């Protein structure tokens, strides 16, 4: 098959005029155009490539082929940590010092930018190496991520909830980390197998759970989440496949995307794709800072 080269500008203006686009809802049209228009992010690039390689710029392209691009599993990232957005550089350092720990745990004080986040590490583990890894990760994230965390617990056993979430989401879940309303980050052995980039991105995601539970509640069926559900419906597309598993995952993935793209050209592109969710994150961040 010969794939024509089409410049993004020509592709976008041609797609904008496709008769099939009129079959979309107004929200769907907006989402579609935002999805294909991102100049720098990988997801928009992949969708544009698919439009060309699948021959979807022809005037007779059926509407369902275009609609399908909005949640095409081959074009939607499974989890955002695989999206190639560089980690922000904070230039911060961390300081560690041992403290008396509870039975079975080594406690190490970890301080980043004046914020103390104690680490409780299972005695069977290499506390020095693990503390260095977590200190580095905490120094690599924006203050809004650290602000969610009160302490870190590093376990030498897998998360007992893995089986429950595997059933609930219908995908194999082997948690690397978990964090609830109280902000105690649980780190499981799976996390120690991750590369630094994945480990740090996971930290954003978990802090996103704490942040969103504080903002909208623990019960995902609760009225507190109504604004989020409405926002997600208006945005139409999801930040990742994993985000579609529950509103909690949707919020955690959006929090990650918002903070990791902030200050980069991709931020405005993602803001155009997820305008309502980004506005909710922005509002909740502003309230948390007051
Ligand atoms: Zn999650």
Would you write out the chain's pLDDT as a tens digit for each of its 290 residues?
A: 455 678 889 999 999 999 999 889 999 999 999 999 999 999 999 999 999 999 999 989 999 999 999 999 899 988 887 776 888 888 899 999 888 878 889 999 999 999 999 999 999 999 999 999 999 999 999 999 999 999 999 999 999 889 998 898 888 888 899 999 999 999 999 999 999 999 999 999 999 999 999 999 999 999 999 999 999 999 999 999 989 999 999 999 999 999 999 999 999 999 999 999 999 999 999 998 88
Rg of the chain's alpha carbons, rounded to an integer?
Answer: 21
Give φ, ψ of 124 to 5 degrees.
-75, -10
Other beta carbons within 10 Å of 191:
23
Alpha-carbon dihedral 283, 240, 136, 215, rounded to 10 degrees: 30
The CA distance from 178 to 176, in Å, is 7
Structural contact between residues 228 and 277, judged by C-beta atoms closer than 8 angstroms: yes
Ligand 1 centroid to residue 71 C-alpha, Å: 20
* CA atoms of 33 and 59, how far apart (whole Å): 17
Joined tokens for residue 26: 């107004």
Read off the tokens for 2.
């010969």
For residue 103, the CA-to-ligand 1 centroid distance in Å is 29
3 state DSSP class of 161: coil
**Model confidence, pTM:** 0.93
- Using the mean position of ligand 1's atoms as its centre, give its distance from the Cα of residue 205 in Å: 6
Query: How many angstroms is it from 24 CA to the middle of ligand 1?
Result: 31
Q: Ligand 1 center to residue 78 CA distance, Å? A: 13
For residue 243, give the DSSP letter: G
């Amino acid at each position: 098959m010969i794939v024509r080269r089409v410049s993004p500008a020509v592709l976008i203006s041609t797609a904008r005029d496709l008769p099939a686009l009129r079959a979309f809802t107004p929200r769907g049209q907006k989402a579609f155009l935002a999805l294909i228009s991102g100049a720098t992010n990988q997801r928009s690039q992949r969708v544009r490539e698919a439009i060309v390689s699948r021959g979807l710029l022809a005037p007779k392209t059926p509407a369902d082929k275009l609609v399908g691009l909005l949640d095409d599993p081959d074009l939607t990232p499974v989890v955002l940590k695989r999206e190639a957005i560089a980690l922000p550089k904070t230039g911060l350092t961390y300081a560690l010092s041992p403290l008396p720990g509870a039975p079975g745990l080594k406690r190490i004080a970890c301080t980043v930018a004046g914020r103390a986040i104690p680490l409780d590490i299972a005695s069977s583990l290499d506390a020095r190496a693990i503390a260095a890894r977590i200190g580095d990760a905490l120094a690599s994230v924006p203050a809004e991520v650290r602000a969610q965390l009160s302490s870190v617990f590093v376990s030498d056993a897998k998360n007992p909830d893995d089986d429950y979430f595997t059933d609930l989401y219908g995908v194999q879940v082997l948690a690397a980390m978990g964090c609830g309303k109280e902000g105690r980050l649980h780190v499981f052995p799976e996390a120690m197998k991750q590369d630094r980039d994945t480990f740090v991105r996971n930290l954003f995601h978990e802090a996103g759970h704490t942040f969103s539970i504080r903002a909208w509640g623990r019960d995902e069926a609760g009225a507190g989440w109504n604004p989020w559900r409405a926002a997600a419906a208006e945005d139409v597309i999801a930040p990742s496949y994993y985000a579609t598993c529950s509103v909690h995952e949707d919020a955690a993935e959006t929090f990650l995307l918002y903070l990791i793209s902030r200050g980069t050209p991709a931020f405005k592109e993602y803001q155009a794709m997820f305008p309502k969710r980004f506005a909710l994150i922005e509002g909740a961040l502003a309230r948390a800072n007051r």
